């Protein structure tokens, strides 16, 4: 639409119809603008930060005697299985190639989290650690997860641009996660038998991290323009 189109609109739809059409056009233009996308991304990040902090507050306001069973049967494991085997296989992106790439990314990402967290929880080593050792063990866990899934992604042939773009998006969330974990490890409120309350609270935070990554992957996919053109993955070629 251009300003020269307004007389035609006036003659066709009248003043109110033209005003409504111009209003709709302005809204659509704003929604498509990079400024709006940037704003939406910032609002999304703020929402995620608030949501993750609320996960910690939920534990604060509903303190109970956390047991080993609460840790080994935490909801994070059920959610990962649901996402891996039900949600991810049905996610659709703009092209068949991107669908195959991002489904593979999310599958590796989720399985890596489940594998590493399961190893950490089932080892039960955290139960005998002091606050400083728990903090270092959890920091090592986060680093190990990231290293594990990024290596597997590259080895599986996922394009580096996708891994790098997702890494850049995830970095802020991981930084916040590390800050929250440190706060929990240094807080007397979370002192409990065998560190159960600490680990339970941190698993809640990691669950939020996974939810955030899944919800953001489509916007990351759409932000990649010509860098994937002509690439091939699992028999699919990017137009």
- pLDDT value at 20 more than 80: no
Using only the alpha carbons of the chain, give its radius of gyration.
23
- pLDDT value at 186 more than 50: yes
Structural domain boundaries, residue 9? 1-32
Do 5 and 49 share a domain, yes or no?
no
Do 197 and 224 share a domain, yes or no?
yes
Distance CA 226, CA 237 (A): 13
Do 125 and 11 share a domain, yes or no?
no
pLDDT of residue 192: 86
Q: Is residue 37 part of a domain?
A: no
Do 140 and 187 share a domain, yes or no?
yes
Total number of domains in the chain: 2
* Residues 195, 133 contacting (CB under 8 angstroms): no
Do 137 and 180 share a domain, yes or no?
yes
pLDDT of residue 65: 79
Tokens describing residue 154:
């590259």
What is the DSSP pairing of strand 232-233 with strand 236-237? Answer: antiparallel
Between 82 and 45, the more confident residue is: 82
Do 107 and 220 share a domain, yes or no?
yes
**Local structure of 236: helix, strand or coil:** strand
Do 111 and 216 share a domain, yes or no?
yes
Q: For 81-90, what is the mean pLDDT?
A: 96
189 closest CA partner among 49, 59, 72, 51: 59
103 closest CA partner among 116, 117, 88: 88
- pLDDT value at 40 more than 50: no
Sequence-separated (6 or more) residues with CB below 8 Å from residue 122:
72
Q: pTM of this prediction?
A: 0.74
Q: For 31-48, what is the mean pLDDT?
A: 51
């Amino acid at each position: 639409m251009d300003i020269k189109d307004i007389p035609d609109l006036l003659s066709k739809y009248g003043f109110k119809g033209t005003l409504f059409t111009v209003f709709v056009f302005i809204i659509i233009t704003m929604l498509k603008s990079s400024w709006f996308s940037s704003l939406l991304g910032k609002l999304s990040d703020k929402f995620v930060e608030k949501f993750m902090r609320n996960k910690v507050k939920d534990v604060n306001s509903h303190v109970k005697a956390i047991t080993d069973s609460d840790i080994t049967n935490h909801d994070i494991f059920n959610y990962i299985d649901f996402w891996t085997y039900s949600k991810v296989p049905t996610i659709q992106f703009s092209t068949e190639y991107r669908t195959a790439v991002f489904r593979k990314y999310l599958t590796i990402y989720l399985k890596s989290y489940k594998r590493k967290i399961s190893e950490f929880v089932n080892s039960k080593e955290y139960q005998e650690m002091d606050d400083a050792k728990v903090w270092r063990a959890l920091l090592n866990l986060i680093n190990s997860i990231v290293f594990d899934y990024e290596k597997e992604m590259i080895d599986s042939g996922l394009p580096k641009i996708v891994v790098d773009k997702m890494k850049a998006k995830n970095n802020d969330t991981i930084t916040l996660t590390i800050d929250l974990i440190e706060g929990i490890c240094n807080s007397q409120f979370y002192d409990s038998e065998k560190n159960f309350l600490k680990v339970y609270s941190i698993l809640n935070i990691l669950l939020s991290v996974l939810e955030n990554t899944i919800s953001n992957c489509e916007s990351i996919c759409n932000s990649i323009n010509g860098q994937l053109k002509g690439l091939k993955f699992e028999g699919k070629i990017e137009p």
